[in-house]
Amino acid sequence: MRIAQIRLKVITMPLKSPFHTHLGKVIEREGIIIEVMDTDGVSGFGEGVAFSTPWYTEETVKTSLHMLSDILIPLLMNNRIKHPEDAAILFKTVRRNNMAKAGLEMAIWDLYAKRNSKSLSKIIGGTREQVASGVVVAVDSLSNALKEIENYIGEGYQRVKVKISPQQDYSFLAGIRSHFPNLQIMADANSAYTLKDLDRLKSLDDFNLLMIEQPLASDDIIQHSLLQKQLNTPICLDESIVSFEDAKNAVELGSCKIINIKAGRVGGIHEAKRIHDYCLDKGIEVWCGGMIEFGISRAHNIALASLPGFTIPGDISASNRFWDEDIITPEVSIENGFVHVPDKPGIGFDINRNRLKETTIAERLFTFENK
Ligand code: OSB
Ligand code: MG
């Protein structure tokens, strides 16, 4: 692969409504759009999914810009790659900074798939023509949750995830469960609990939840293994799994029965696929998580979720879940509870150039020498 230039665009867009968790609320989303163009003028796109502040992981938009500009893009300038996996392996010489790595690696996957005239899904071994769609409700009251869930069920979503914390759990979930007795519900705690809350967490077994996501500390694997032994509800790990090794340790220790795979969190598609393949082999179910992302990352998620091990509906929602207008065309939409996996080359969506332009607040261009 001969890269001619890489363009980074920082974009910003208000959410249609605030996204509440016990860690704070997201009102406006900043992100980095990464375009990698080769010497034939073919472009691949990726998205840096770090937030403006380090509330979910340690990365931010600014740390990602630094890593991309001063470390990762120079690595690509100095090392010829033949395949996206070469980029993933090259980036392993840099510690962590997974969202920065993933955004760039995924742009290279899109470019590689386009050059081979194959969909990204097919290139990585996807087997599904459509992926089951779930949606997240992140609000701070039961009445708002009930209204939103009602609407999302009307739009066809197959399962709903709600955000919980000790301030909003038992009676909140009881209210939801009594209104929707048959709904597939899961609860995401984003590390709101400690083992001192054991009785509280056990009480949530009352609600027949599909799973409880990341109840304990964001970097813990040991305490979750103690907790899982005490709960009937399966634990799903999100924040704690930032590499293949983490996934293996968590499975071996019995820290979870399910893993939420996000390419951004684990450093890209290569690492996400390794975790997927391992879980498929071990009979651990996985699903594709979301990052309140724009259409490019959404499109990558669709391709990832088309792999055979993604058996649980992911946080794969339509573009209109968060945005008035997305940066891709067509926008991602839900039909009968599923999102269609495109068969066009690469991520299979075009860039909405006007929307991208009007949301861009900063831009950097890197030109490769190709001597
Ligand atoms: O914990 O899964 C999470 C959003 C941003 C950061 C972390 C998480 C989330 C979500 C929403 O739960 C996922 C989505 O639909 O984009
Ligand atoms: Mg989560």
Beta 350-351 vs 328-329: how paired, if at all? antiparallel
Q: Is 192 helix (H, G, I), strand (E, B) or coil?
A: coil
Q: Which residue, judged by its Cα, is nearest atom 6 of ligand 1?
A: 291
Mean pLDDT of all residues in 194-218 = 98
Distance CA 274, CA 304 (A): 12
Ligand 1 site-directed mutation target among 291, 298, 334, most atoms within 8 Å of CB: 291
**Percentage of residues in the chain with pLDDT exceeding 70?**
100
Q: Where are the beta strands (DSSP E) in the chain?
A: 3-21, 24-38, 43-48, 130-132, 134-137, 159-163, 185-188, 212-213, 235-237, 258-261, 285-288, 328-329, 338-340, 350-351, 360-367
Q: Is the CB of 38 under 6 A from ligand 1?
A: no
The predicted structure's pLDDT at residue 371: 72
Give the CA-trace dihedral at 147, 151, 152, 156, to 10 degrees: 150
Backbone Cα Rg of the chain: 20
Cis peptide before 330 (omega within 30 of 0): yes
Asked if 200 contacts 170 with a C-beta cutoff of 8 angstroms, the reply is yes
pLDDT of residue 336: 95
Calculate mean pLDDT across residues 9-29. Answer: 97
How far is Cα 16 from Cα 324, in angstroms, rounded to an integer?
7
Does the C-beta of 239 come closer than 6 Å to ligand 1? Answer: no
Mean pLDDT computed over 242-263:
98
What is the rounded distance in angstroms from the CA atom of residue 209 to the CA atom of residue 161? 10
Q: How confident is the model at residue 240 (pLDDT cuts 50, 70, 90)?
A: very high
Q: Which residues surround ligand 2, an ion (CB under 5 A)?
A: 188, 213, 238
Between the CA of 56 and the centroid of ligand 2 the distance, in Å, is 9
- Mean pLDDT estimate for the chain: 98
What is the tens place of the pLDDT at every residue in 35-55? 999 999 999 999 999 999 999
Of all atoms in ligand 1, which is nearest to the CA of residue 317?
Answer: 15
For residue 291, the CA-to-ligand 1 centroid distance in Å is 5
Q: Ligand 1 centre from 213 Cα, in Å?
A: 11
Distance from residue 291's CA to the centre of ligand 2 (Å): 9
Q: Is 255 in the pocket of ligand 1 (CB under 6 A)?
A: no
Q: What DSSP letter does each residue of 230-278 carry, written as one string?
A: H-SSPEEESTT--SHHHHHHHHHHT--SEEEE-HHHHTSHHHHHHHHHH
Give every CB contact of residue 355 below 8 A, 6+ residues apart in sequence. 325, 326, 327
First and final C-alpha spacing in the chain: 14
Q: Is the pLDDT of residue 88 over 80?
A: yes
User: With 80 as the cut, is the pLDDT of residue 86 above it?
Assistant: yes
Average pLDDT over residues 152-173: 97
Q: How many residues does the chain have?
A: 371
- Domains identified in the chain and CATH numbers: 3-117+352-367 (3.30.390.10), 122-340 (3.20.20.120)
The one-character DSSP state at 332 is P
Report the pLDDT averaged over residues 246-251: 98
- Give the residue numbers marked as catalytic: 163, 262
Cβ–ligand 1 distance for 290 under 6 Å, the answer yes
Structure confidence at residue 370 as a pLDDT band (50, 70, 90): confident
pLDDT of residue 263 exceeding 80: yes
- What is the rounded distance in angstroms from the CA atom of residue 342 to the CA atom of residue 131? 11
